[in-house]
Structure 1
């Protein structure tokens, strides 16, 4: 009988021992400590700092893009074949530089034809003027009728009208011929070749895309709460991670209609003297928010223990270590997000 009791007690004892170990590891036997506070059994009678708050301005970061303020599509004005294209993507061009040529054989032939007609009409007009002068002389002598003089005057007027019309045709043919030389309208960089030699062009067909690298913008979709406080001319900070550039830029345009889906306004800012910056680059725009009250304490009052930050709080003459979560630094002070309240006292030592 005693052997059976002994065998039964062993499993029960083992189970009780296991439960005690689990309870110990769970901290049931530990003294309860409030979260974020580490007690110190130490009296304090030194200098003190009273926690206060002040208004600070946060900068909200908005994703933005670099865009070209001046974009140009150089297009054909003629119905003709593209003969030559002299530029490549990424190439720098100057205003007035030859970019491409269009087949001009038909236009040259048209100019020659109009010139020939103009020469022929000029010869006829010269003869008609002579006949008119001769007729007027004979009429004064009573040798020809007045209607003969009128016929030659009419002839001269008709030839003058033809000469004027041909002069206008010649001017139009020359303009059309000059349009076969495609020139750069601005100083800029070639973005893309949109056509290749041999392509048949119609009026308005784009051939080359250009942009001016000296006139760039930052464009950003800004939520309406922030955009409502922006004004033209405001200076805002931008950062371009690709090249590490940081500078202040001016608000040049705020699109007056918001995106109804995202509730954001498109804001554009002009960049000055931007080196190694190209359209399409990612940028960060920093917009100041309304001033808000935040707790700030001197940085030297913060103690660091690895990744943790603590302060020494004086409560009833006793020091207590308390964990705090910090925000941004403002001068020689640091913002406290959680862990402290206004009016609490910190030890200064």
Structure 2
């Protein structure tokens, strides 16, 4: 009974204090603060040396000059890409094309309601015929007054008045003819035709909608003449030249194509500090207008980097190591890698210039 009372009389704060102290002890041991003075330096972790096999391939590491590469996202666009819009206000009565349709030049795209246009043309044509009849009558009066005036059977005043009326009638007839011709041209605008051989991209309106000038009905492009359009940093654009060969990666096709720089915009966007670059692409099955692609350029100054073959690197989860050869023996050493250059990786730490490593990634550890 007395022992139970003794245990219960201990301060309750001693229990959590003992727990916290134990946790701190474990952390200090894990960090190496306690339990020894030796520490393992990054890049120097090694395992007991082993003899290098007689047939093992090795490589001596040396710094190499490499130019940093940059990748810019762009869009594939047709050289001939337009949005077709009417020139007048009218309701769409017929639209026989759909996205993906291939059209020949001159093929019908849309037909607009032409009743108002037809009425206007009929009125203009009737006005022209009336003006033409008046001009003919005025011409006959002009001929008659000239004959009378020469015979001194008409006064100068009558002569001048008839001549002026004839000239005015002819001018009115010419004006009516122009109006009728303009009305006829507008009547022809109720039909929208394909301007070249191409493919319908997007259909913006449907039959029954009101067509409005400058509001597109469809988008239309030529699918066989594509190029990449990308905005790249101005410091990279100045290093490109027209006709230069660049790499264009098409993720949708899992292909990298060799393109030719076709245009470099001289203007720099004040907000993004980029310039528009257009790259011609070879005809390749699967390329489509509107696809995303990546333009790969080299625009950084060359730098000396330490490279090792990617096949020589051994993975330990997220850690990397190589087998360093020295005095006929090899030992494992951890490294930290950087950018990839083809089949080689840049080594940021763990190796020095001039060291030798084993190439066989399949050797036993």
Q: TM-score range by the shorter chain?
A: 0.7 to 0.9
Q: Tell me the CA shift for residue 73 of structure 1.
A: 1.8
How many aligned residue pairs are there?
321
> Paired residue for 1:311?
323
1:145 equivalent to 2:177? Answer: no
Provide the rounded CA distance (Å) in 2 between the counterparts of 1:213 and 1:234: 24
> Paired residue for 2:220?
210
> Paired residue for 1:169?
179
Q: Tell me the CA shift for residue 299 of structure 1.
A: 8.0
Query: Could you tell me whether the CA contact under 8 Å between 2:52 and 2:325 is conserved in 1?
Result: no
Q: Tell me the CA shift for residue 91 of structure 1.
A: 1.4
SS at match of 1:101: strand
Q: Tell me the CA shift for residue 165 of structure 1.
A: 0.6
> Paired residue for 2:350?
339
Provide the rounded CA distance (Å) in 2 between the counterparts of 1:266 and 1:175: 39
Which runs of no fewer than 5 residues in structure 1 stay unpaired?
Answer: 1-21
Q: Tell me the CA shift for residue 275 of structure 1.
A: 3.0
> Paired residue for 1:257?
268
Q: Deviations over 1:196-255 (max 9, x none)?
A: 222223332322222332343323343455445334443210111212232122332246
Aligned counterpart in structure 2 of residue 37 of structure 1, from 31, 46, 49: 46
> Paired residue for 1:130?
140
Q: Tell me the CA shift for residue 345 of structure 1.
A: 4.6
> Paired residue for 1:182?
192
Q: Deviations over 1:28-75 (max 9, x none)?
A: 89x987743223265999998653222123433333333344432211
Q: Tell me the CA shift for residue 164 of structure 1.
A: 0.7
Q: Do the aligned partners of residues 37 and 210 (structure 1) sit closer, same or farther apart at CA in structure 2, a change above 3 Å counting?
A: same
TM-score, with length taken from structure 2: 0.72
Provide the rounded CA distance (Å) in 2 between the counterparts of 1:191 and 1:122: 48
Alignment of 1:278-293 (within 5 A): 278-288=288-298, 289-293=300-304
Provide the rounded CA distance (Å) in 2 between the counterparts of 1:196 and 1:318: 78
1:64 equivalent to 2:71? Answer: no
Provide the rounded CA distance (Å) in 2 between the counterparts of 1:241 and 1:87: 31
> Paired residue for 1:8?
none
Provide the rounded CA distance (Å) in 2 between the counterparts of 1:245 and 1:41: 43
Q: Do the aligned partners of residues 223 and 161 (structure 1) sit closer, same or farther apart at CA in structure 2, a change above 3 Å counting?
A: closer
Q: Do the aligned partners of residues 242 and 114 (structure 1) sit closer, same or farther apart at CA in structure 2, a change above 3 Å counting?
A: same
Between stretches 305-314 and 281-290, larger displacement belongs to 305-314
TM-score, with length taken from structure 1: 0.75
Provide the rounded CA distance (Å) in 1 between the counterparts of 2:58 and 2:253: 46
Provide the rounded CA distance (Å) in 1 between the counterparts of 2:206 and 2:53: 84
Provide the rounded CA distance (Å) in 2 between the counterparts of 1:95 and 1:116: 35
Provide the rounded CA distance (Å) in 1 between the counterparts of 2:147 and 2:139: 12
Provide the rounded CA distance (Å) in 1 between the counterparts of 2:251 and 2:293: 7
Query: Could you tell me whether the CA contact under 8 Å between 2:88 and 2:211 is conserved in 1?
Result: yes
> Paired residue for 2:100?
90
Query: Could you tell me whether the CA contact under 8 Å between 2:102 and 2:198 is conserved in 1?
Result: yes
Query: Could you tell me whether the CA contact under 8 Å between 2:60 and 2:355 is conserved in 1?
Result: yes
Q: Deviations over 1:77-103 (max 9, x none)?
A: 112222211211121223332211111
Query: Could you tell me whether the CA contact under 8 Å between 2:80 and 2:225 is conserved in 1?
Result: yes
Query: Could you tell me whether the CA contact under 8 Å between 2:92 and 2:206 is conserved in 1?
Result: yes
SS at match of 2:130: helix
Query: Could you tell me whether the CA contact under 8 Å between 1:44 and 1:314 is conserved in 2?
Result: no
Query: Could you tell me whether the CA contact under 8 Å between 1:314 and 1:347 is conserved in 2?
Result: no
Q: Alignment RMSD, CA only?
A: 3.8
Provide the rounded CA distance (Å) in 2 between the counterparts of 1:221 and 1:198: 40
Between stretches 40-49 and 173-182, larger displacement belongs to 40-49
Q: Tell me the CA shift for residue 157 of structure 1.
A: 1.0
Provide the rounded CA distance (Å) in 1 between the counterparts of 2:205 and 2:260: 37
Provide the rounded CA distance (Å) in 2 between the counterparts of 1:108 and 1:305: 80
